[in-house]
Structure 1
Amino acid sequence: MSELTKQDIAAIADRYAAAWLSRDPGAIVAMHAPGSTFQAHGRGAEVKGKAALLKEFAEVFERYPGFGVETHRLLLGDKHWTLEWDLTFQPPGKARRGFRALDVVEVDDAGLVTRKDTFFDFAQVKAAFEAA
């Protein structure tokens, strides 16, 4: 294992989750390394660098108003974590809805995110957007 312990990884994951829950793209990007990448697999191409990440994360909050997270499990590893979660959101005037997601997040020795890959259950995504 690297210099980072599982406790360190857990603390970084907690701070990262708090940044997402604040719905502040700047706070999220502040936890990323300069050349960090993000990809929502099946939805779009990989984005790289802080400017592209800032734009992409701002769009997430536009796409999913009232963005929220329901965590199912967090698995810690050597300089990475895996998070199984539900993305929840609430379109104006409609009921809250959500769908399952899985993140694999890698960090460098300084604890900055170098890569975030998100995988969705696209049948659930479609159903969430079509719900009354």
Structure 2
Amino acid sequence: MSELTEHTIAAVADRYAAAWISRDPEAIMALHAPDSTFQAHGSGAAVRGKSALFKEFADIFERFPNFGVETRRLLLGDKHWTLDWTLTFQPAGKERRGFHALDVVEVDDAGLITRKDTFFDYAELKAAMGSGK
């Protein structure tokens, strides 16, 4: 791929969303560059490299059982996209719940993800994690 277009970035974003929705760390990692970085802002330092990212993403699926995504909007830009979404999950024996999140995802010239920054609404996160319903 020599030139990224809005259509190409949209296609990468769609494949990436499908990998997350299928809860498949291997498929997610196939779309990341080898030295890619991920940071969930407010919950620790950035992690770098496929091995560290694989572990981080697998941990997310454990932390949020029955992980799901409700897309609010997808904004495409030059070598990046921004996803406004709700992370949903359902602990065993409890109601489905969720919280608002925002991803900023950068890609290289080959369309591989080089950086993903996730920002959460921590008031909603705290309420969702503490909800006894």
Other structure's SS at 1:110 match: coil
- Whether 1:79 and 2:79 are equivalent positions in the alignment is yes
Deviation at 1:36, TM superposition (A): 0.2
Other structure's SS at 1:23 match: coil
- Relative to the length of structure 2, the TM-score reads 0.97
CA RMSD of aligned residues (A): 0.9
Other structure's SS at 2:71 match: strand
Equivalenced residues, count: 131
- Relative to the length of structure 1, the TM-score reads 0.98
- Measured in 2, the distance between the counterparts of 1:82 and 1:47 equals 20
Q: Could you list the runs of 4 or more consecutive aligned residues of structure 1 that deviate by over 6 angstroms after TM superposition?
A: none
Please, which runs of 5 or more residues in structure 1 have no aligned partner? none
Structure-2 residue corresponding to 1:112: 112
Write the letter of the residue equivalent to 2:67: F
Structure-1 residue corresponding to 2:16: 16
Other structure's SS at 1:61 match: helix
- Measured in 1, the distance between the counterparts of 2:11 and 2:31 equals 12
* Identity within the alignment, %: 76
Write the letter of the residue equivalent to 1:113: I
Please, which runs of 5 or more residues in structure 2 have no aligned partner? none
Structure-2 residue corresponding to 1:25: 25
